[in-house]
Amino acid sequence: MRIAPQPALLFALLYLCAARPSPAQSASSSLAVSADDQLLLVLKPDSNSVTALHIPSKRKIVELPVGEDPRSVAFDDPRGRAYVVSRGSSDLAVVDLAKYTVPGRIAVGYRPMALALAPDAKTIAVAETGDDAVRLLDAETLATRTVIATRFAGVLFFLYGFEKNERDNISAKELRLYQRFARELLSFTKKQIVTALAAQVLTEVIR
């Protein structure tokens, strides 16, 4: 559902109790298996690395350094790569599965713990537990498209989103601002949420 922009600063409040989540193509785990059952990726938090194993031969291919305290890994089979989120360094590492290199690491929110690739392989979702937020990134460009504040218990606050042709990413300053907004929104009581909805500071969306 797309919400038309309002004149004032708005945040959309989503209730997920009626939502029907679709299965992710690649979901969060400390290990992952490729779609062709040839490759196994295993995280090693103690050494801040990910190990690639060839399943048929049970052979170790390579061990690659990623971020500090890696927690979740997911395959992106269409692009021949994988992603690793690390809680200690608060980043997402991109693993090139053709060259077995880590060409880049992207800063995300505080203490990410999980990630998943959408069924259409266009979006990466990262659960940032330290910020009580979910970040949605464009899987092709790895740019942030949406930041959602959530208590991970049925309520989401949609903070910001934009079309691909509008801009590439949000700035570090904007990220800090949205993180502050997220903390403030997640401290709201039910009464404060009702008041904000009545004043049209929040817009409620039920699916």
Where is 146: in which H helix or E strand? Answer: strand 144-150
pLDDT band for position 128 (cuts 50, 70, 90):
confident
Between CA 80 and CA 89 the distance in angstroms is 24
- The residue among 117, 30, 114, 21 whose CA lies nearest residue 77 is 117
pLDDT band for position 39 (cuts 50, 70, 90):
very high
Residue 25: CB atoms within 10 A of its CB come to 17
152: region left, alpha or beta (phi > 0 left; psi from -120 to 50 alpha): left
Q: Could you read off the pLDDT of 13-23 as tens digits, one per residue?
A: 222 223 333 33
Q: Could you read off the pLDDT of 153-192 as tens digits, one per residue?
A: 556 666 666 665 666 666 777 767 777 777 777 677 777 7
Mean pLDDT is lowest, of 71-85, 93-107, 115-129, for 115-129
Q: Look up tokens 């060409």; give the residue.
A: 103
Which structural domains are found in the chain, ordered by start?
Answer: 11-206 (2.130.10.10)
- The residue among 155, 195, 160 whose CA lies nearest residue 180 is 160
More confident call, 84 vs 4: 84
Burial of 57 (0-12, 13-18, 19+ CB in 10 A): exposed
Q: Look up tokens 């559902």; give the residue.
A: 1
Between CA 179 and CA 1 the distance in angstroms is 24
**pLDDT higher than threshold 90 for residue 1:** no
Reading the block at residue 15, the tokens are 């209730």
- The residue among 55, 50, 59, 60 whose CA lies nearest residue 92 is 50
pLDDT band for position 76 (cuts 50, 70, 90):
very high
Q: Average pLDDT for residues 119-140, to the nearest whole number?
A: 87
157: region left, alpha or beta (phi > 0 left; psi from -120 to 50 alpha): beta
Q: Average pLDDT for residues 26-47, to the nearest whole number?
A: 86
**pLDDT higher than threshold 70 for residue 105:** yes
Predicted pLDDT at 154 = 55
Q: Average pLDDT for residues 69-84, to the nearest whole number?
A: 95
**pLDDT higher than threshold 60 for residue 72:** yes
Predicted pLDDT at 4 = 36
Average pLDDT, the chain: 77
pLDDT band for position 66 (cuts 50, 70, 90):
very high
Strand, helix or coil for residue 176: helix
Quick one: how many helices (H) and strands (E) in the chain? 2, 15
